[in-house]
Amino acid sequence: MPRTFDDARSWAQLGTGLFIRAADLHDAGLDGPSTLPGWTRKHLVAHIAANADALGNLVHWAATGEHTPMYASPEERAAGIERGAVLPAGELTAWLRRSATGLAASMSALSDEQWQSPVVTAQGRTVPATELPWMRSREVCVHAIDLGTGPTFADLPAGFLAALCDDVAAKRAKDGGPALILEAAGTGARWELPGEGEPTVLTGALHDITAYLTGREHALTAPGGGPAPALTRWL
């Protein structure tokens, strides 16, 4: 079943809470490595805090019609994360909570008409503002896992996992790679990715399929017990 606007708003709220709880650490914990190469947990927290502020810019755009891009430039986006990554834990997590609260409040203030306003993402896509909760839910839910402090894909709602698989599979189908058939055991969900060679059929839990498609640790194996085909980076 396709995701709905209400689904995305619910997942964004759930994922925000999950991320904030997973990031509730002192300096020693936040200074430790995340599961993303080259990033500490502080980098991830700064990224999520900055993402809320950036999406808030798009909410302002939708509310007022004033052209307000997410970030001034890719360079400024990266610099903001690096500045956040050296903040003391208390300041960093305060920014995380403040930015999340501000984004939720500004979204709640949008009218039905304003939610239909077109805005432009950091990747240059023009989308209706109704896409913003989905964009936020992907960030907070996936990166809560990337913190490496406990949450896993198995902790996320099945509807979110299936919607994320739809998104990632559609992108990977355009980017090329190995031909795949992915079957989520016990759900009837199935994704086919065109690509090189005969399709490899991978069957497993929905959360493992989601982890595999997004390039995270998973338990899937190819028929015969070998490793699942390697995938290129998702984003």
User: Helix crossing, 132-146 with 158-175: angle to 10°?
Assistant: 100
Q: Is the pLDDT of residue 66 over 90?
A: yes
pLDDT in tens, 126-183: 999 999 999 999 999 999 999 999 999 999 999 999 999 999 999 999 988 999 999 9
CATH number of the domain located at residue range(s) 153-235 in this protein? 3.30.1050.20
Q: Which pLDDT score is estimated for 176?
A: 86
At 2, is the pLDDT very low, low, confident or very high (cuts 50, 70, 90)?
Answer: confident
pLDDT in tens, 119-131: 999 999 999 999 9
Q: Which pLDDT score is estimated for 52?
A: 98
At 184, is the pLDDT very low, low, confident or very high (cuts 50, 70, 90)?
Answer: very high
Q: Which pLDDT score is estimated for 190?
A: 97
SS3 220: coil
- Yes or no: say if 46 and 92 are a contact pair by the CB < 8 Å rule: yes
Residues 6+ apart with CB under 8 A from 161: 153, 206, 207, 209, 210
Per-residue DSSP letter, 229: P
Could you give the CA distance from residue 158 to residue 177 in angstroms, rounded to a whole number? 26
Q: Which pLDDT score is estimated for 197?
A: 87
Which class for 5: exposed (0-12), middle (13-18), buried (19 or more C-beta within 10 A)?
Answer: middle
Element (DSSP H or E) covering residue 167: helix 158-175
Segments making up each domain of the chain, as ranges: 5-151, 153-235
How many angstroms separate the Cα of 6 from the Cα of each of 72, 76, 90, 114, 232?
30, 32, 32, 16, 31
SS3 213: helix
Q: Is the pLDDT of residue 196 over 90?
A: no
Q: Which pLDDT score is estimated for 223?
A: 94
Residue type, 117: S
The yes/no answer on whether domain 5-151 falls in CATH 3.40.50.2300 is: no
Q: Which pLDDT score is estimated for 38?
A: 96
Q: Is the pLDDT of residue 1 over 80?
A: no
Q: Is the pLDDT of residue 80 over 80?
A: yes
Q: Is the pLDDT of residue 14 over 90?
A: yes
**Average pLDDT, rounded, for the chain:** 97
Residue type, 77: R
Q: Tell me the average pLDDT across 180-189.
A: 96
Percent of the chain exceeding pLDDT 70 equals 100
